[in-house]
Amino acid sequence: MYLAVLVETAPRSVFERPAAPYTEALLAAVPLPDPERPFRPPELKGDPPSPINLPSGCPFHPRCPEAQLPLCREQVPEYRETAVEHWVACHFR
């Protein structure tokens, strides 16, 4: 969920193959228990929007590295099944 909007649901496959850009960023922000591997969380542009003043279109578009305007700014992506039991709300996935 991002800003109380469901962006992706899946069984365990979401951990191996996340489909939504937000899910990818969220999973990449989890540190791995490996002291030899430097931890570099993803850098998302901007600040999260206010949950009481949601952006139009896709709620993640202001911070999404794949956002394409005006589509993402103006249209809410359809929540659709991209694989068995794997649902995502993204115009490009």
Going by pLDDT thresholds of 50, 70 and 90, the confidence category of residue 55 is: very high
Q: Model-level pTM?
A: 0.88
Residue 93: count other Cβ atoms within 10 Å of its Cβ: 16
Domain parsing of the chain, residue ranges: 1-29+56-93
Q: What span, in angstroms and rounded, lies between the C-alpha atoms of 7 and 62?
A: 15
Give tens-digit pLDDT for 56-72.
Answer: 999 999 999 999 999 99
Calculate the alpha carbon distances from 31 to 34, 36, 44, 77, 80 in Å. Answer: 8, 12, 16, 30, 30
CA dihedral 85, 77, 47, 44 (to 10 degrees): 60
